[in-house]
Amino acid sequence: MKTLKHWELEKRHEAGIDLRVDGKHIMSLRVLEQGLFRVLLQREGRLELNRTWSIAPQEDVPVEGRNRLSNAGFSLPEFTFEQSENQLRLATSQLRVTVHQPLRLEWEGLNQEGEWQLIASDRPTGAYLLPSKGEGVEHFQRRYAQDNYYGLGEKAGDLNRTGRRFEMRNLDAMGYNAASTDPLYKHVPFTLTRHEGVSFGLFYDNLSSCRFDLGNELDNYHLPYRRFSAEAGDLDYYLFIGPTLLEVTKKFVRLTGKTFFGPKWSLGYSGSTMHYTDAPDAQQQLMKFIRLCAEHRIPCDSFQLSSGYTSINDKRYVFNWNHDKFPRPEAMTAAFHHAGLKLAANIKPCLLQDHPLYAEVAEQGLFIQDSETATPECSSFWDDEGSHLDFTNPATFAWWQAQVTRQLLEKGIDSTWNDNNEFEVWDGDARCYGFGEPIAIKHIRPVMPLLMMRASFEAQLKFAPHKRPYLISRSGCAGMQRYVQTWSGDNRTDWSTLRYNTRMGLGMSLSGLYNVGHDVGGFAGPKPEAELFVRWVQNGVMHPRFTIHSWNDDSTVNEPWMYPEVTTAVREAIELRYRLLPYFYTLLWQAYADDEPMLRPTFLDNEHDASTFEENDDFLIGRDLLVASVVEKGQREREVYLPDNATGWVNFYSGEWFRGGQRILLPAALDRLPLMVRGGSALPCSARLAHCDVELDTQRSLQVFPLPGAGKASGSLFEDDGESHDWQQGMALWLAWDIEYTDQRINLHFTRRGEYRPRWRGLNVVLPVGETREVWIEGEKTSSYLLW
């Protein structure tokens, strides 16, 4: 590696400046927004990859990628420029960067007191390293004692990443250790660094395998540092600030693209297991699932069809129906629809070498090509070898969409489950079509699942243009939130996974992946014992994605009724999820419309409270509901730290109020998940539902959790038909409320807009047992509010 040292000003332009480094490299500093700058290094004046698929500040990226040099979608604000003999400075009203000689960047942000505050600085003893021959790039920044690092998407272990080393290299890590395994499935090279006053995000737009060292490595010849290294590609990073970590996360979503707004049924319980579709009587097993849900009174909205439906003997062949196991797929999908359930089918982007369509696809040139032989690359896949489809080839895109339509959608499948899409092609020089400009796979491996899910998304949208698509994907990169819901992959069944999956989900949420969940009950390994299963279900119902999925070693199936002695507790947890669906659906809307995370670590809304930054097993779903999952065997009481706030917290079940900033002990019987609600807030709730159906959803209540004295609170509810795009034409209900508490009264005022009229006509206000104050709505003493 060669250290870049000396620079000179090459030119100024409307977006910033270009520096010539060591006489041959170009470093561009671009001022994109008041609090968002970009640094791009062009080795010897050229780019290794001339486009990106992750940056989408205003609209989606073209399928063939966004020109890496484009400034489209950014406001390009005015900035000041100062230069002296050995440094220069660019500044807006919020952020400024000073370039020192030898090459080193120093970053300052304007804090809430209106003072410039140092937030980041390159390592003075060598910040930018390029290999003298070959590929790769390294970037070193100072690491300060007060720095704490978060983000990096889906990572094992604690939420605070400080002092650890991580790798981004998408792997099919089945049965991983949720406390330590690395790397995993996703590629999100984004960190949040917390400072008092100003925090910042740092996103490296590099799609090759890369590594982060956040304090694990020490070198006597350098001050403490953090390190980014990539095996290929360009050094291209975005640095942006916010007064809070929440604002930094929201800015990252605005940089990489808005969260997709899926149908309401995607928030219901989704069943799944490998064993149903692997069974010789798979269609009968699936039909039995419908009956058992009704028999055990388990609400359910969908089932995820594992890849066994494509099998020939023991192997999987995407888009192939095994008609011995599934003699009448159309009849099966019709039966699910009649019961109110949707179906999502598993699809994989690799064709085994004996796939019935392999020769045809190879002849059309739809596979990634071997770097030496110009024949389809061959990699290990599902106990055999196969070739990966090349989604940078428009012909592959079209072929895939035709298969999705013909083999799935036309047979009644509602959704695609894009799985095993890590693209483990270890010939890094294998060639991709690149939309006419060939690209080595090492430069874009995480883009392949992104394009795969986009092809599926567009196929579903074209087939049913009146419906909002719903898709799932296991792998991907920054920007995948534009198309899919995701989960933490093939976890292992144990108590530790239950604990650390929660932190993994929070890490994804901080990194812009809001619509997430886990395989409830554990996917790989032994079946969960009854107590673990109950606690996992209670945890899972409080995540955006709630799916029970398994491939247990003993061929048992994780199902709500798998342990009769605890089926009631499982049912009650799932019923609680359905009761809170109006709240969850509003959160999904806010994730799309306002870039608000659904899952939130307790510090995200309470940064002033240092205790919330201690590693813990609590989280918020939305701003108002605090979840204290039980993650230890035999635990029947749960200590909970209540973040210090102005309104305190209310026990969800008893209505008892507690001040914030203290630890309390809550009862945690096996049939109860400890929950606390932000004081003064209200949660919109429904009556019991068997599944999401706007025609049957005829009741709505507003469960209020009052303050003990005077105060104010507010909230909102979003409703529409649950699956169309009609909200874009105003066919939705946006209902907001303000609550004023006095010693004698609870006063509510509602405002509403939108043309949609749900089947329920009004809200019934529900207070905790023992609350004696009168409820007044719009100046009238009543506990009911009629909309029309």
Torsion, CA 432, CA 438, CA 439, CA 445, rounded to 10: -20
Long-range contacts of 13-17 (CB under 8 A, 24+ apart): 14/76, 15/71, 15/76, 16/79, 16/90, 17/81, 17/88, 17/90
Inform me whether the pLDDT recorded for 762 exceeds 90: yes
Instruction: Report how far residue 295's alpha carbon sits from residue 81's, in angstroms, rounded to the nearest whole number.
Output: 71
Assigned token pair, 378: 């061959």
375 pLDDT higher than 90: yes
Q: How confident is the model at residue 483 (pLDDT cuts 50, 70, 90)?
A: very high
Residue 423's pLDDT band (cuts 50, 70, 90): very high
- DSSP of 369-382: BPTTTSSB--EEET
pLDDT-derived band at 135 (thresholds 50, 70, 90) equals confident
Q: What is the predicted pLDDT for the residue at 364?
A: 97
Tell me the pLDDT tens digit for each residue of 143-176. Answer: 999 999 999 999 999 999 999 999 999 999 999 9
User: Can you give the pLDDT at residue 1?
Assistant: 86
Say if residue 405's pLDDT is above 90: yes
Residue 133 pLDDT grade (very low, low, confident, very high; cuts 50, 70, 90) = confident
Q: Residue 276 and residue 722: Cα distance in Å, rounded? A: 29
Residue 426 has pLDDT above 90, yes or no: no
pLDDT in the model for residue 222: 97
Q: Which pLDDT score, from 0 to 100, does residue 196 have? A: 86
Structure tokens at 450: 């992104």
For CA atoms 47, 51, 56, 58, the dihedral sign is positive
Looking at the predicted structure, is the pLDDT value of residue 383 above 90? Answer: no
Structural domains in the chain, sorted by start: 2-48+73-256 (2.60.40.1760), 312-331+344-487 (3.20.20.80), 599-673 (2.60.40.1180), 682-786 (2.60.40.1180)
Residue 677, classed as helix, strand or coil, is strand
Residue 305 confidence class, pLDDT cut points 50, 70, 90:
very high
pLDDT digits (tens, 9 = 90+) for 485-502: 999 999 999 999 999 999
**CB–CB of 622/676 below 8 Å?**
no
Q: How far apart are CA 251 and CA 616, in angstroms?
A: 26
Residue 537: the pLDDT is: 98
User: Which runs of E-coded beta strand occur in 668-772?
Assistant: 675-678, 682-686, 700-704, 711-719, 733-741, 745-753, 762-766
| Calpha distance 785→752 (Å, rounded) | 12
Q: Work out the mean pLDDT of the chain and round it to a whole number.
A: 97
* Cβ neighbours around 688 below 10 Å, total: 10
Predicted pLDDT of residue 323: 97
Question: For a pLDDT cut of 70, what percent of the chain falls above it?
Answer: 100
Question: Average pLDDT for residues 547-570, to the nearest whole number?
Answer: 97
One-letter identity of residue 743: D
Mean pLDDT score, 282-292 = 97
Question: Which value, to the nearest 10 degrees, does the dihedral of the CA atoms of residues 66, 67, 72, 78 take?
Answer: 140
Cis ω for the linkage preceding 329 (within 30 of 0): no
- Alpha-carbon radius of gyration of the chain: 27
The upper half-sphere exposure of residue 343, i.e. CA atoms within 13 Å in the direction of its Cβ, equals 30
Residue 185 in contact with residue 172, Cβ under 8 Å? yes
| 123 vs 100: CA distance, rounded Å | 11
Altogether, the residues listed in the chain come to a count of: 788
pLDDT digits (tens, 9 = 90+) for 9-47: 999 999 999 999 999 999 999 999 999 999 999 999 999
- The confidence score (pLDDT) of residue 764 equals 97
pLDDT of residue 134: 79
The encoded tokens of residue 526 equal: 């032994």
Q: Please write the tens of the pLDDT for every residue from 632-641.
A: 999 999 999 9
From CA 315, how far away is CA 42, in angstroms rounded? 45
> Residue 345 pairs with which residues in a beta bridge?
305, 416
Let me know: does 73 contact 57? Beta carbons within 8 Å. yes
Of all residues in the chain, the percent with pLDDT exceeding 90 is 97
Q: Give the integer Cα–Cα distance in Å for 34 and 272.
A: 47
